[in-house]
């Protein structure tokens, strides 16, 4: 059913294309993250770039940019609070999206789809945890939330790519969804590579205290976060042509 057909129906009290909702949801963490980094560089450079090694560093880590100074901490928390609630809905939507294909007959496929959606939910909860528990308040808990976030995020992205590839081999997919799969693969590989490199440079900085190494780590963190956000943003392509509608249920039931 097209958006125009829905709009013409009687007793439809609210109608908005999914693209508008998704654009806002995805833009909130991306814009919030960039704004926090810029504000940290402009007003809190010394505080956000200082490490225990006391060597020159030119970029703040994400934890320092979003959790140590005001107004950055408020901006990030507001953006995450506004964007997290719809993300729980996206997890359910994706499960139904995947199991609507003919491959739903395979039990393993349904299990993987459920696992991916569950990981999406846990990732979202852990993001809330590392957002509202800063590293300066409780470093261990913040670190555990971050580790859980990254593990769930990487496994979720891998499972999502597998599910879409499985659907591609079993079912004829639209050109838009195929393009979405291509982007997902690229973003997953980039996310994994930047994360592994970030871990390497973090431990290298901690062990050798070389000037500039923490800056490389911070930059790789930015890439990891950005690719994560953009990966979730591919839902704009997957749900192209869909809309959020409020109206009587019987109005949208297919006639037999």
- Closest of 135, 136, 153 to residue 144, by C-alpha: 135
The radius of gyration of the chain from alpha carbons, rounded to an integer in Å, stands at 21
- Vertex 233, ends 175 and 31: CA angle to 5°? 145
Q: What are the residue boundaries of the structural domains of the chain, listed by start?
A: 14-242
What's the pLDDT score for residue 22?
85
What's the pLDDT score for residue 256?
42
pTM reported for the whole predicted model: 0.87
Q: What does the pLDDT profile of the chain (256 residues) look like in tens digits?
A: 445 554 455 677 777 888 888 888 889 999 999 999 999 999 999 888 888 888 889 999 988 888 878 999 999 999 999 998 888 988 998 998 888 866 556 788 889 999 999 999 999 999 999 888 877 788 889 889 999 999 999 999 999 999 999 888 767 778 888 999 999 999 999 999 999 999 999 999 989 999 999 999 999 999 999 999 999 999 989 888 778 777 776 655 554 4
Which parts of 50-138 fold into alpha helices (H)?
62-67, 72-99, 107-132
3-state helix, strand, coil in the chain (%, to 5): 75, 5, 20
Q: How far is it, in rounded angstroms, from Cα 48 to Cα 30?
A: 19
């Amino acid at each position: 059913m097209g958006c125009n057909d829905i709009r013409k129906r009687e007793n439809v009290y609210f109608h908005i294309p999914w693209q508008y909702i998704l654009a806002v949801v995805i833009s909130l963490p991306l814009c919030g993250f960039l704004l926090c980094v810029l504000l940290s560089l402009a007003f809190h450079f010394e505080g956000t770039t200082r490490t225990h090694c006391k060597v020159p560093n030119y970029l703040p880590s994400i934890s320092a940019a979003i959790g140590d100074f005001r107004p950055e901490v408020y901006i990030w928390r507001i953006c995450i609070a506004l964007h997290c609630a719809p993300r729980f809905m996206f997890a359910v939507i994706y499960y139904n999206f995947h199991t609507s294909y003919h491959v739903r007959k395979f039990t393993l496929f349904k299990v993987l789809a459920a696992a991916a959606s569950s990981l999406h939910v846990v990732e979202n909860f852990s993001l809330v945890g590392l957002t509202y528990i800063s590293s300066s308040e409780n470093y261990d808990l913040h670190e555990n939330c971050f580790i859980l976030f990254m593990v769930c995020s990487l496994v979720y992205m891998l499972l999502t790519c597998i599910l879409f590839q499985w659907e591609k081999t079993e079912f004829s997919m639209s050109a838009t969804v195929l393009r979405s799969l291509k982007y997902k693969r690229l973003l997953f590989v980039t996310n994994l590579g930047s994360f592994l490199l970030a871990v390497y440079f973090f431990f290298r900085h901690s062990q050798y205290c070389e000037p500039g190494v923490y800056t490389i780590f911070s930059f790789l963190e930015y890439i990891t976060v950005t690719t994560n956000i953009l990966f979730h943003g591919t839902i704009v392509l997957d749900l192209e042509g869909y809309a959020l509608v409020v109206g009587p249920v019987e109005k949208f039931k297919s006639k037999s």
